[in-house]
Structure formats: C-alpha cells, structure tokens
Amino acid sequence: MPLARSLSVTSLSGLEEWDEEFELEDAVLFEIAWEVANKVGGIYTVIQTKARLTAEEWGENYFLVGPYVESNVRTQVELIEPPNPALKRTIDKMNASGCKVYFGRWLIEGSPYVVLIDVAFTAWSLDRWKSELWELCDIGVPWFDREANDAVLFGFLTAWLLGEYVAQSEDPPHVVAHFHEWLAGLGLVLCRHRQLPVATIFTTHATLLGRYLCAGNVDFYNKLAEFNVDKEAGDRQIYHRYCLERAAAHCAHVFTTVSQITAIEAEHLLKRKPDVVTPNGLNVKKFSAVHEFQNLHAQSKNRIQEFVRGHFYGHLDFNLDKCLFLFIAGRYEFSNKGADIFLEALARLNYLLRVNHSDVTVIAFFIMPARTNNFNVETLKGQAVRKQLWDTAHTVKERFGKKLYESLLVGQLPDVSKMLDKEDFTMMKRAIFATQRQCQPPICTHNMLEDSSDPILNCVRRIGLFNSSADRVKIIFHPEFLSSTSPLLPMDYEEFVRGCHLGVFPSYYEPWGYTPAECTVMGIPSISTNLSGFGCFMEEHITDPTAYGIYILDRRFRGVDESCNQLTSFLFQFCKQSRRQRIIQRNRTERLSDLLDWRYLGKYYISARHMALAKAFPDTYLYEPHDPTSTTGFRYPRPASVPPSPALSRHSSPRHSEAEDNDEDERYDEDLEAEKDRVNIRQPYSMPFKNKPSAANGANESSDGDGSEKN
C-alpha cells in the first residue's frame, strides 16, 4: 500500500517570502509577448503561470500586451472597459486612428488585464513601417517572411501604445516594458530610438540562431566562440530575424535569459552578456496533492497498465507489477530533444537486463507529435480485445456469484466443480482465442504519413527493438499529444506523468526544460542534462541531485558514446531499485517543488524590473548590485539518510524482500526523513534595492534605511 505522506509540499522549503519595499505606486508594468492569450509554445506557459504572482505584486498597474486572435479571445478573454483613465484614452485614440485595440481580463489564475492588438487590421501600414525600419536600423524584412512581417506590425503597434500611454498620462508614470522574444523585440528598439521614458527589459527564452544551428547537427557548444554569426544567420535565411533579436538585446536597459547555459549562448551569439538569469517557474499549487501524490501515482499507473494490457495482448508474457514506465515528451526534434541517445541507451539497457536475467520489464513511451492520418488499426483492436476480455470476466463472475449465493441460501457449501458450467467455459475459450496474435505488438500507435523517413522508427529498425517476447525493453511511439478524450489512451498529460516512474529528457539543446520541472513537482524522478537550463539550475541548487531523483547527464564534457553509457547506467541502476526505494525517492523528488515555484523564482524577474527602473529613472530609483563572490545561492543538502540506490546501499537502507509490498512492520518515517534533510539548508541571497529619497518622495525616507529586501 502507498506510504502516507506526512508533509505538505512546503514543509522542506527553507524559502521565505521576499519583503518587498520597492516603491511601485506610480510605476506601471507592461509585459509584451506574442504568446499572451495565444498558445504557440513554452512562453505561453511562462506568462500564464507567472501572471498571478505578478498581478499580486503590481495590482491594477499590470498589463499584458499581445496579439488579438479571435478564436482565442472567445474562450480565454473577457472583454471589458479599461479601468485606467490614461489607458482608456490611449486605446480610444489608437482605435480612432485606424487600429483595433481590445482590453479585457485573461481568464487564468490571477485574472490579469490584457491589451490585445489586431495586427492584421493594420497590415495596410506594413510597407510604410518596413521602410521606416530600414531607414532607422538598416534592417530589411523580406516580403515572404510572414512571421517577420507580423513582428514588424506588432513592434510598431506596441511602441505606439506605450508612447501614447505616456502622452495621455497626467503625471508621467514610471513605465516598465518587458518584452519576450524577438517577435516582440522591435517594440523595444523603437521605444529606445524614440527616447520614450520607459524602462525596458528583453528576455530571450532561446536564441534564434542557436535553435537553427543545433537543428543542423552542428557541434554547437564546442564551437560556440568560433561561429561567424552574420554568415551563419545569412546562410539560414534568418539574418533579418537575427538582427531584430540582437538589436533588442543591445537596446534593452536590462537583458535577461532563462538559464546559465543560455546566458553563455547569448553572450556569444547576441554579443551581450545577460544582466540577470530569470529561470522559468511553475504554479506548484496546481500540482500539489499534499498527502495524496503517492496515491495519485498508483491510480494513474493502473490506467497506464490497462492500456499496456491491450497494446500487448497475446504477448503479455511479463509481470506488470515489475514493469517500469519511462517516457520522453516534447516537440519532435529528434536530436535536440535527445530521442536519438535515449533509443541507443534503451538498446544497451535491453542487453544488460537480458544478460543479468532481470525480471524487470521497461516500457518506454515517446510522446512526440508527428504527421499521422489516423490510429493504427492493430492498436485500436488491442484495446477492443482488452475490453472484451474484461466484459467476459465480469459476466462469468456474476454468474459464478449468483450460483454461490443460491447455494449458501439453502445452507450448503458450493460444489466447486458445478460452479462453472459448459457455457461459462465456452465463453472463456472464445475470449482466449480472441487474444491470439500472429504479429508483434506495434511500435507506433498511429499510421505515420512518412513512415520510411521517420527518425524514431528508423532508429528502432536499426537497434532492433521490435517489442518481441525476448526483449526486456518495449517501445511505444505515440505521435500525438495526450488527451482525456482519446479512444486509445484517454489520459491528460499531467495524469500520464503521474503514472510513470521516470521521465527521460537527454536534450542537447534545451534553454530551460518544462517537462522535467513538471515531473519534479509531481514527485516523478527525471533525467535531464547539463546542457538544459533545468539541469544546470538543479546542479547549482542541490548538493546531490541524484539522491533527490534528479539525474544530470553530462552531454557538455563527454562524447556521445560516453553520454550514452552514462544514461544506460542511470537507467540500469533505476531498474535495480526496489518498490520501497522508489517510493522514498519520489518523496524526495516532490520535496523539491518549492524550488520551482514562482513564489521563489519570481524574485529574479523582480530583480530585473528593479534594475531596469534604476537604470531608466536614476533620480528616483537606486539599484545596489551585490557582490557576486558573497553569494552561495540556495543549496539543498545531500539527504542525511542513505540514498535510494542499490549500488550505494548500506544495511540501514531499505532492502528488497519478496513481501515488501505488504510489509507494514518496516515503517518509513517521512517526518524524520525530512527533518534530517533540513539540516544546513542555506537561504537564497536577496538582492538589495532601494528608492532614492526625493522632495516629492520625502515620506519614504523612513523606509530608505532598510530598503534592501529581506530573506
């Protein structure tokens, strides 16, 4: 039975709220991104999950700015009149000048205000604005690049919005404009060129050139300092986009990126070192199940097991209770996401499990959307056969139960030989006959449009993992995002992750990595790399990540074969853990949730905004940079108890026994475990920020002495 969790997700946090004393009454924050109320990629998740914390900090002075997309507005936005008089005058004047600007509340947690600009409605100005861009910045945008055309329109409209807002304000406010990614970056460049009194921040979540270079199988990190960036961008026909991104990075008062690894990349490709690293967080409350997350894992695992029973019908010659579910998910970038090295490691793991006569079976799921035309008939048939078997078993059970009931009613013990009649045996024989299968269980759950050239399927053919009975590693490729309405695997992504045992994300290019972060807050161990922002962040903040179920694969300083061997070792050691060791490890993993909460990570965005205000309005705001050598950061210590690894176990560590599932004498005291792990946890260093006292702000002098933020 699952062990009860005696701690909440905040019980090992060691994280205290920052005591904000930075004066924001006359400051206004505009956060500008193409993915405001418009889901395209990961930036949507960043903005959506961070909105509640930012709205609490800025109140009525926080506005998100994005494109107007009617289909999204119908379901995500409630259109209302602007409560801010200056903003209402701004929108009215822009609408009177030939624009279409809408105002409302985004229907997400925190209900932030949104300003949505209809980019297509002002397409008549595109040529004029392109000419102006060429005259001002010598950046030419080709007519056929629709995405870049949208960036030009969006940039000029957001700069118009900010300039008009400043002009319509009676008392000049201290405006902060935070721009995300190159699609919104032109607005920042125009704000600086027009000398608007606006503090600007530019955040790149991944450099354009970095994505293109890594997609081309280039030895990216070893040659980072050697690239001729202008030539490389020109060769890939993205020079105009690269120029927009680089101009935004250099014009911004504060330049930020999402991880240390991306900061190195930006320094070489964009030629500016980021001022602040702003890691991506999650709304941990959404995933927090407090005492129940172990039970949720068991429930979701049972649903995955039901799918596996159908998928492998006729070849179900392995014990599902000793079956481990691994998964990789994300965009279908075969090399960048590490699917290539994962498949190779699975082939090596299969060999190790077979030569060691292991009774563990590994099922690896690949959840990556690709071009398909429908479900695989054999896969659908498997689920139908499973359901038929279930219905047959229930019918026989009901008939058996009725006969047993009638026998007991007359006071007789039942004659077991007569409890099942000929009809019952006939039904069961028919059901067994239906499970006969001449072919192997399918690798892919869908019919692929480009089967012969698909990277995953071609790699599976090369390594020879065809789900045969002799293989201890099975592969299921699900080329579609998960949905609770699917007739095949009716589970949401969150529910599926909870039911798995390990997430594997050996990415080569991953500026942050939300998938391992989501695993962590749901208490699922994961494998990431030291080339991903998440992996670097965890290495920096945790003394021994492996002890907490965060395996960091070295892809930066090792060759591909060495990295593959290390990944195989991680997987093999994980397969050797007992059930109880995995439970302890999940408890430790889930205990790291607060590290990834916006309540903690949001302070880096706060730092960036305060730095920008101090640079743009030095007479009002003061930023005191801390001494980088004096900060040790936040560090979770190595667990005081023995790590749950069979290779490192001592006699006091949990050891495997045949009766471990029902062993209630061997108690696991989560309170004691957590209390040991609290020892020596260091608090995060807080950056000092102050307001300068002025005649107009004389009332703030009393707080000036302790204006630095507290831990």
196 CB-near residues (< 8 Å, 6+ apart): 159, 162, 163, 166, 175
How many domains is the chain partitioned into structurally?
Answer: 3
| Residue 677 confidence (pLDDT) | 57
> What would the mean pLDDT of 392-421 be, rounded to a whole number?
86
Highest average pLDDT, of 434-438, 668-672, 693-697, comes from 434-438
Read off the pLDDT of residues 513-537 as tens digits, 9 standing for 90 and up. 999 999 999 999 999 999 999 999 9
Same domain, 75 and 205: yes
Residue 236, domain extent: 27-283
Q: Given pLDDT bands bounded at 50, 70 and 90, which one contains residue 652?
A: very low
Number of H helices, E strands in the chain: 25, 19
Asked whether the predicted pLDDT for residue 419 surpasses 50, the reply is yes
What integer is the mean pLDDT of 611-639? 70
Q: What is the mean pLDDT of residues 483-496?
A: 94
* Band of pLDDT at residue 626, cut at 50, 70 and 90: low
pLDDT value at residue 21 = 52
For residue 180, is it within any domain? yes
Percent of the chain at pLDDT exceeding 90: 69
Strand partners of residue 104: 79, 114
**Mean pLDDT in residue range 405-410:** 89
Strand pairing category for 62-67 and 198-204: unpaired
Quote the pLDDT of residue 645.
Answer: 47
Sorting pLDDT into bands at 50, 70 and 90, what band is 671? low
pLDDT grade for 416, boundaries at 50, 70 and 90? confident
Domain boundary among 236, 254, 283: 283
pLDDT in the model for residue 673: 61
Q: Which amino acid is at 279?
A: P
Residue 311 has pLDDT above 80, yes or no: yes
Per-residue pLDDT at 1 exceeds 80? no
Cα separation of 393 and 424, whole Å? 10
Alpha carbon distance 136, 132 (integer Å)? 6
Give me the chain's average pLDDT, please.
86
> CA–CA separation, 665 vs 120, rounded Å?
68
Which of helix, strand or coil describes residue 156? helix
Interval 426-448 mean pLDDT? 89
Domain ends where: 571, 596, 621? 596
**Residue 665 pLDDT class (50, 70, 90 cuts):** very low
Q: Is residue 616 part of a domain?
A: no
Same domain membership, residue 326 and residue 254: no
Distance CA(597)–CA(49), nearest Å, equals 10
486 located within any domain: yes
Nearest to 327, CA basis, from 357, 287, 293, 300: 300
**pLDDT computed for residue 700 by the predictor:** 39
What's residue 668's pLDDT? 53
Question: Does residue 523 contact residue 297 with C-beta atoms inside 8 Å?
Answer: yes
Position 648 scores a pLDDT of: 43
One domain, residues 420 and 302: no
Question: Does residue 666 carry a pLDDT above 90?
Answer: no
| Band of pLDDT at residue 412, cut at 50, 70 and 90 | confident
Q: Is residue 347, in this structure, part of any structural domain at all?
A: yes
pLDDT (0 to 100) of residue 690 = 42
Q: In sequence order, which residues have a C-beta less than 8 Å from that of residue 525 and are 6 or more positions away? A: 501, 502, 503, 519, 549, 550, 551, 574, 585, 586, 589
Name residue, tokens 């309005």.
617
pLDDT of residue 628: 40
pLDDT (0 to 100) of residue 625: 67
Looking at the fold, whether 294 and 278 belong to one and the same domain comes out as no
User: Looking at per-residue confidence, does 503 or 592 come out higher?
Assistant: 503
Q: Are residues 330 and 405 in the same domain?
A: no
In angstroms, rounded to a whole number, what is the distance separating the alpha carbons of residues 91 and 112?
A: 17
pLDDT of res. 691:
47
Residues 319 and 408 in one domain: no
| C-alpha–C-alpha distance, residues 326 and 526, integer Å | 9
Residue 142: pLDDT band (50, 70, 90) is very high
Report the alpha-carbon angle 651-656-660, nearest 5.
120
pLDDT at residue 24 tops 90: no
- Whether residues 139 and 263 share a domain: the answer is yes
Say whether pLDDT at 672 is over 70: no
pLDDT of residue 199: 97
Q: What pLDDT score does 675 carry?
A: 58
Average pLDDT of the segment spanning 411-424: 83
CATH at 71:
3.40.50.2000
- pLDDT value for 286: 54
pLDDT score of 216 more than 90 = no
pLDDT at 638: 67
Q: Provide the pLDDT confidence category of residue 356 given band limits of 50, 70 and 90.
A: very high
Tell me what pLDDT residue 187 has: 97
Strand order from edge to edge, sheet including 77-79: 77-79, 101-106, 113-117, 62-67, 27-32, 174-180, 198-204, 254-257, 276-277
Both 421 and 493 in one domain: the answer is no
Residue 709's nearest CA partner among 2, 20, 12, 185 is 20
387 belongs to a structural domain: no
Is residue 119 predicted with pLDDT exceeding 70? yes
289-296: average pLDDT: 72
Region 16-20: mean pLDDT is 43
Q: Which of 259, 283, 307 is the last residue of a domain?
A: 283
Residues 277 and 306 grouped into a single domain: no
363 domain-assigned:
yes
Distance CA 704, CA 691 (A): 7
- In a shared domain, residues 435 and 535: no
> Is 682 a member of any domain?
no
Tokens found for residue 306: 């039901």
Per-residue model confidence (pLDDT) at position 635: 62
Same domain, yes or no: 279 and 291: no
| Whole-number pLDDT of residue 417 | 78
Residue scoring higher pLDDT (219 or 350)? 350
pLDDT band at 653 (very low <50, low <70, confident <90, very high): very low
pLDDT at 436: 84
Query: What is the pLDDT, as a whole number, of residue 4?
Result: 29
62-78 mean pLDDT: 96
pTM of the model: 0.84
| Residue range 247-274: mean pLDDT, rounded | 97
* pLDDT over 90 (residue 256): yes
**Residues 278, 254: one domain?**
yes
Measured between alpha carbons, how far is 124 from 112 in angstroms, rounded to an integer? 31
**Could you tell me which residue, 452 or 171, shows the higher pLDDT?**
452
Q: How confident is the model at residue 437 (pLDDT cuts 50, 70, 90)?
A: confident
- pLDDT (tens digit, 9 = 90+) per residue, 205-214? 999 999 999 9
